[in-house]
């Protein structure tokens, strides 16, 4: 509403610029004040609306392009979207973990849990492609898009991001932590890369959401869920303490 009022005021200023000429025409009875005033106001309203609509379309297109980049990068990191992607996908740890010597679970229970996580992963993968398509469709029809459409897809991204981190990434890492981490030592660097890239993506997403909130768009959250599980963290801490302790 504030943006429209600003555009309306701008229209009034522009339309008042030729007022000396209009005043002269009124004095010499060439133009009626009774009829000219409504015309000026109407033109100002039209100008304000077109100016506001243009700004809203440009803002919507800018927001959608940023969201599209975040969605594409998430797919690159987690769904093998793009060349060279997927080497650090956290879900691949499920097929590489070993639970034969575990005292925290059995191979049978671990396998059942792994299958459940994979089912959730494939469900979220379908959701991902649907959401990505929605963003691209909105970009193509940005001229007719309303704010509700924009808010809906942004909130969907927030919800999707949190669901993936909680039900796929963290559940995978909790399960892996119950197994033999020594057998996954070669995967440790890959996970570290994944964790770093996900943190970078989260930082960009949070900055994006905060900017939307600052611009007056009532997004559901200004921060997406952080990854809080690291099965190698305790081992790394213990190793560091061992190196620092006196011999």
Q: Does some domain include residue 13?
A: yes
In the predicted model, what is the mean pLDDT of residues 81-104?
76
Taking only the tens place, the pLDDT of each residue in 140-181 is: 988 878 888 999 999 999 999 999 999 999 999 999 999 988
Are 228 and 175 members of one domain? yes
Are 84 and 18 members of one domain? no
Are 27 and 141 members of one domain? no
pLDDT category, 236, cuts 50, 70, 90? very low
237 pLDDT more than 50: no
pTM for this prediction = 0.74
Are 148 and 233 members of one domain? yes
Are 181 and 90 members of one domain? yes
Range of the domain at 163: 59-244
d(Cα 186, Cα 197) in Å, to the nearest integer?
Answer: 18
Q: Does some domain include residue 107?
A: yes
Are 85 and 188 members of one domain? yes
Are 69 and 26 members of one domain? no
In the predicted model, what is the mean pLDDT of residues 103-119?
94
The number of distinct structural domains making up the chain is 2
Q: Find out whether 8 and 44 touch, Cβ atoms under 8 Å.
A: yes
Q: Find out whether 91 and 165 touch, Cβ atoms under 8 Å.
A: no
Are 143 and 25 members of one domain? no
pLDDT category, 138, cuts 50, 70, 90? very high
d(Cα 177, Cα 98) in Å, to the nearest integer?
Answer: 10
Q: Does some domain include residue 53?
A: no
Taking only the tens place, the pLDDT of each residue in 200-226 is: 999 999 999 999 999 999 999 999 999
More reliable by pLDDT, 245 or 23: 23
pLDDT category, 132, cuts 50, 70, 90? very high
Are 107 and 177 members of one domain? yes
78 pLDDT more than 50: yes
Q: Does some domain include residue 54?
A: no
pLDDT for position 81: 55
84 pLDDT more than 60: no
Rg (CA), the chain: 28
d(Cα 141, Cα 14) in Å, to the nearest integer?
Answer: 30
């Amino acid at each position: 509403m504030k943006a429209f009022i600003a555009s309306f005021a701008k229209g009034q200023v522009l339309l008042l610029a030729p007022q000396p000429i209009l005043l002269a025409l009124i004095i010499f009875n060439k133009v009626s004040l009774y009829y000219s005033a409504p015309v000026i106001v109407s033109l100002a309203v039209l100008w304000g609306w077109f100016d506001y609509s243009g700004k809203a379309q440009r803002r919507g297109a800018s927001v959608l392009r940023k969201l599209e980049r975040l969605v594409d990068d998430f797919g690159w990191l987690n769904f093998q979207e793009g060349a060279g992607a997927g080497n650090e996908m956290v879900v691949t740890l499920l097929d590489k973990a070993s639970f034969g010597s575990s005292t925290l679970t059995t191979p049978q229970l671990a396998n059942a849990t792994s299958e459940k996580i994979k089912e959730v992963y494939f469900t979220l993968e379908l959701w991902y492609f649907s959401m990505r398509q929605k963003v691209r469709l909105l970009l193509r029809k940005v001229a007719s898009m309303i704010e509700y459409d924009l808010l809906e897809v942004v909130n969907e991204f927030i919800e999707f991001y949190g669901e993936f981190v909680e039900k796929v990434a963290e559940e995978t890492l909790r399960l892996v932590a119950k197994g033999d981490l020594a057998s996954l030592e070669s995967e440790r660097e890959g996970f570290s890369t994944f964790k770093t890239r996900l943190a970078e993506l989260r930082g960009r997403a949070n900055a994006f959401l905060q900017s939307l909130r600052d611009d007056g768009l009532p997004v559901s959250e200004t921060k997406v869920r952080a990854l809080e599980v690291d099965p190698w963290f305790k081992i790394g801490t213990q190793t560091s303490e061992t190196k620092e302790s006196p011999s």
